[in-house]
Structure 1
Amino acid sequence: MKTLSDQAVGTAHGKIILIGEHAVVYNEPAIAMPFMATPVEVIIEKINGGSVISSSYYQGLLQTVPDSLKNLKSLIQSICSDLNQPVDGLSISISSLIPPERGMGSSAAVATALVRALFAYFERDIAHDTLLNYVEISEKIAHGNPSGLDARVTSSASPIYYKKNSHFASIPLHVSGYLIAADTGMKGQTKKAVRDVARQMERASHQTLTIIKKIGHLTEEARLAIQDDHVELLGELLTLSHDCLKQINVSNDRLDHLVDTAIKNHALGAKLTGGGRGGCMIALARTAKQAKLIAHKLMENGAVETWIHALGENSNE
């Protein structure tokens, strides 16, 4: 009989919507990037008695988790049942650098790391499709009707090209450079922003649809730029996308100020990322030195946190 590991570790990372947000609702493509600068780690150790969870939100018994963590409780129970293992006897420590409610895939990343840690602890291999199925259990409880995008990106090393209800495809990441993300300190308002765009589509359908289709075209160009290492072009496309998002009123003054700050400090491009009306923005730099300068200037101009992620294997200092 196999002896269970005394300790097991599972990891994942955040995600960034590079381009295509909001347009993706209207069947245009979007591209999401794995964002390794915001890692998640789950450590499981063997203990006696009831299982416990330790995280920044809650420390205590698994059986008495708050509503905000019931998705993880259900996930743990499902995996233990499927693997014919007891739910008790686990010390589960969760460490995440992904800020919640910023559109960076926090809940999916934690679920991904937890699934990997549990399978490692019980010494079982796991196929990627099986991993995604388990993360979906958690995401349905957390979000109701998830697209599956967050689960794929937080468990992948490659950018994901996505179309609503139809298509996920990995993109070869050949582009070099540095992606900076900055947190406005404001929770994103995705649901309200999506609803407002829908109303704008009703009131001014031709004008709004033209902007949506332009975002889709910019996304297709960005896909080629990523594959062909055209980092300057990619930066230009990001800025053009932000201009489109401003036209459909999903940005706000704080996001616009941070985007302008990045551009003034020689970013190749910048835009909001995710639902908008708060949350985060991103900027693209050619070198690590430029990225650090841009991140510093963003903090001086109101960002509450920044992260830098190197793109591709040949990013230059």
Structure 2
Amino acid sequence: MGAVQVRDGFVELYGTAPEGVWSAPGRVNLIGEHTDYNDGFVMPFALPHTAIAAVSRRTDGVLRLHSADIEGDAGGVVELRLDDLAPEADHNWTAYPAGVVWALREAGHAVTGADVHLSSTVPSGAGLSSSAALEVVVALALNDLFELGLQRWQLARLCQRAENVYVGAPTGIMDQTASACCEEGHALFLDTRDLSQKQIPFDLAAEGMRLLVVDTRVKHAHSDGEYGKRRAGCERGAALLGVDALRDVPYTELDAALERLGDDEEAVRLVRHIVTEDERVEKVVALLEAGETRAIGPVLIAGHASLRDDFRISCPELDLVVDTALASGALGARMTGGGFGGSAIVLAEAADVDTITKAVEEAFASSGYAAPRVFEAVPSAGARRLS
């Protein structure tokens, strides 16, 4: 659904035109998985798939929310009072936009209510940050309408707080920052400790390559326990090593750090993944800046092995995508996102895309899995006002 349809939907719902329409994209992470809540490095880029919001201000302390993507009785307008918003009290999709309003108000920003109509083309549960897109589009709209003067990185921080505290999902800062700050034709090299950013040109089509996203259609939910267990395990590893975050363990000192952990197998695995993954992000940045784009393929493969074997968040469907794609000529492949389902990415020569796609689809069919969704990932613009 495009901006015009969302605007028209707002008029039909609320009886007047919205004050504006905004969009915010989902993202795919090229490299740097689970490093964001360890103060490490990540490298996402924005997808052309977006959440779109038509929004108007209210002054009566009421928040009205509607999604064009929710059908049936559950798809009506949800009316909430701002004074009643409370963390983890809402377990529906409305928790994401309502959480943003709560976070803004808790931070002292004068948001007095809003009418919101939303629609999104970001696949839900695919590890492509559909929730962050919803949060960021609402935050940007309210920032503009209420003239809050917040910078993009500040909006990302508030959206992360909404997801961590209000929704109850212990996610890092990458998803919201990617949605808010990415630029078309670039990947975002982000230091999640200080939110310093560098836009790295990433135009695969110009070099005869493509990056595919393969949505396994295996659903995950970050607020479920396994993601939180990994985060807690990383924090425990940092404490055992006497550092503020695993970002502070130099790659050159990894072996010594692992020796200090002794026979604590879980801590060894988690620490090894985070430290080597930070190194992989820096390696990919260096390769892209040197014009050696094809050489990032083996780095992606190594990242998947680490997520599968050390962090243990892959699944048979994700492994099947990676193994099949590589056997069919892909330059590189790995799972992406929080894990336990969701999507994988495949770096391939443009001429090999059809062969790889067919092989993956046939492998899923022969394994009895539901057909995957395959599409090209094109680095796209971050959040913006459309009208």
- TM normalised by structure 1 equals 0.77
Q: 1:208 to 1:178 in 2, by over 3 A?
A: same
Per the alignment, residue 181 of structure 1 pairs with 213
Q: Number of paired residues?
A: 306
**Native 8 Å contact 2:45 2:380 kept in 1:** no
Given candidates 52, 61, 68, the residue that maps to 2:64 is 52
Whole-Å separation in 1 of the counterparts to 2:111 and 2:271? 52
Residues in 2 aligned to 1:299 and 1:35: alpha-carbon distance in whole angstroms: 25
**Which aligned pairs between 1:250-265 and structure 2 lie closer than 5 A?**
250-265=313-328
Counterpart AA for 1:274 = G
SS at match of 2:344: strand
Alpha-carbon contact 1:235-1:284 (below 8 Å) kept: yes
2:54 maps to 1:17: no
Secondary structure (helix, strand or coil) at the match of 2:217 reads coil
SS of residue paired to 1:111: helix
Question: Contact 1:193/1:276 (CA < 8 Å) preserved in 2?
Answer: no
Does 2:283 correspond to 1:215?
no
Contact map agreement 1:17 1:273 (CA 8 A) in 2: yes
Instruction: Report the counterpart of residue 112 of structure 1 in structure 2.
Output: 136
Task: Give structure 2 stretches of 5+ with no counterpart.
Answer: 1-15, 221-225, 238-257, 365-370, 382-387
CA offsets 1:281-309 (integer angstroms, 9 cap, x no match) = 1111233x544553454344335323312
Q: Go from structure 1 to structure 2 and tell me whether the alpha carbon gap of 1:239 and 1:257 turns closer, same or farther (over 3 Å shift).
A: same
Q: Choose which of 333, 351, 373 in structure 2 pairs with 1:305.
A: 373
CA shift, 1:142, in A, is 2.0
Unaligned runs of 5+ in 1: none
Deviation (angstroms), 1:254: 1.4
**What do residues 197-253 of structure 1 show as CA deviations (whole Å, max 9, x unaligned)?**
879972276677555544333222111123233221112210122123232133222
SS in 2 for 1:235: helix
Question: Shift in Å at residue 84 of structure 1?
Answer: 5.3
- 2: distance between equivalents of 1:137 and 1:110? 14
Aligned to 2:290: 228
Question: How far off its partner does 1:147 sit?
Answer: 2.7
Query: What is the CA RMSD across the aligned residues, in angstroms?
Result: 3.9
Which one-letter code corresponds to 1:10 in the other structure?
W
Does 63-72 or 239-248 show the bigger shift?
A: 63-72
Contact 2:335–2:344 at 8 Å: present in 1 too? Answer: yes
2:333 to 255, 265, 270: 270
Question: Are the counterparts in 2 of residues 175 and 228 from structure 1 also a CA contact under 8 Å?
Answer: no
Deviation at 1:121, TM superposition (A): 4.5
Alpha-carbon displacement from aligned partner over 1:41-81 (angstroms, at most 9, x marks no partner): 1112589x965322134432322895322342243366689
- Counterpart of 2:77 in structure 1: which amino acid? G
Instruction: Quote the sequence identity (%).
Output: 19
Q: 2:297 corresponds to which letter in structure 1?
A: G
Partners of 1:165 and 1:124 in 2: CA distance: 24
Q: Contact between 2:47 and 2:380, CA under 8 Å: does it hold in 1? A: no
Q: Deviations over 1:112-133 (max 9, x none)?
A: 1112233445577653244234
Structure 1 stretches of 4+ moved >6 Å: 80-83, 195-201
Contact 1:175 1:312 in 2 (8 A): no
Structure-2 separation of matches of 1:211 and 1:78 = 32
2: CA distance between counterparts of 1:294 and 1:79? 45
Cα distance change on mapping 1:73 and 1:219 into 2, 3 Å = closer
Q: Which residue identity is paired with 2:282?
A: E
Name the TM-score, length of structure 2 as normaliser: 0.65
> Quick one: structure 1 residues 234 and 204, their matched pair in 2 at CA, closer, same or farther if it must change by over 3 Å?
same
Partner residue, 2:78: 61
Contact 1:218–1:241 at 8 Å: present in 2 too?
yes
